Structure 1
Amino acid sequence: MADEEWHSDDAVEYPINGVLDLHVFPPSEVHDLVPEYLRACREKGILTVRIIHGKGTGTLRRIVHSVLESLPWVNRYHLGGHGCGSWGATIAYLDPPDINP
């Protein structure tokens, strides 16, 4: 096992449960990862999704919000409130799959 290396292009299975924690992904993957994850949530009927981007410098938050703005099936979004990650997370509300495919 010690000789095996993990590569960022190796597939990693991530649970589709309505919470996406970006801390475990390289920032370079966020642009592709967020829409892919949200599509999977819609397919499972999960229409409220919490995206944890962290508080840090705000770079990931800005990327996430930019991606959300570009998706026609994201109805709205806002920063998480008390108990939902505060400004370190964004809550996105998705249209059902039969609306804005």
Structure 2
Amino acid sequence: MKPDDSPDDPVVLPLEDHLDLHPFQPKDIPSVVEEYLEQCRAAGLAEVRLIHGKGTGFQRNVVRSILETHPAVSAFHDAPPEAGGWGATVVFLKTG
């Protein structure tokens, strides 16, 4: 195994009510989003914001396809303009 083939070390993120996905590789987005949502739900957060950017809409589509089927998600929509507009998605998590 070459050094560049080795798995990346896990990244520990502080738990906040928003997550900027720009620093992550596209291949990592699904697992990052799923883990983040689970941690937020476990911490009792009811609403979070995922910042995926505007660009071509690819990241937005990936994020929304995850949200459509994730068991912790009750609803989601575009963020208000002052919080990123269609470049971010507000997610409501199921409680209890």
Q: How does 1:38-57 map to 2 (within 5 A)?
A: 38-57=37-56
Distance 1:8 1:47 in 2: 33
Query: 1:54–1:61: 8 Å Cα contact kept in structure 2?
Result: yes
On the 8 A contact 1:17/1:46 being kept in 2, the answer is no
Percent of residue pairs bearing the same amino acid type: 43
What residue is the counterpart of 1:80 in the other structure?
79
**Where do 5+ consecutive residues of structure 1 fail to align?**
none
The CA RMSD over aligned residues, in Å, is 1.5
Distance (whole Å) between structure 2 residues aligned to residue 55 and residue 64 of structure 1: 12
TM-score normalized by the length of structure 2 = 0.89
- How many residues are paired up? 92
Alignment of 1:1-101 (within 5 A): 9-96=8-95, 98=96
Runs of 4+ that moved beyond 2 A: none
Classify the secondary structure of the residue corresponding to 1:67.
helix
Residue by residue over 1:56-100, the C-alpha shift from the partner in whole angstroms, topping out at 9 and shown as x without a partner, is: 00000000000000112211000111211111000000001x3xx
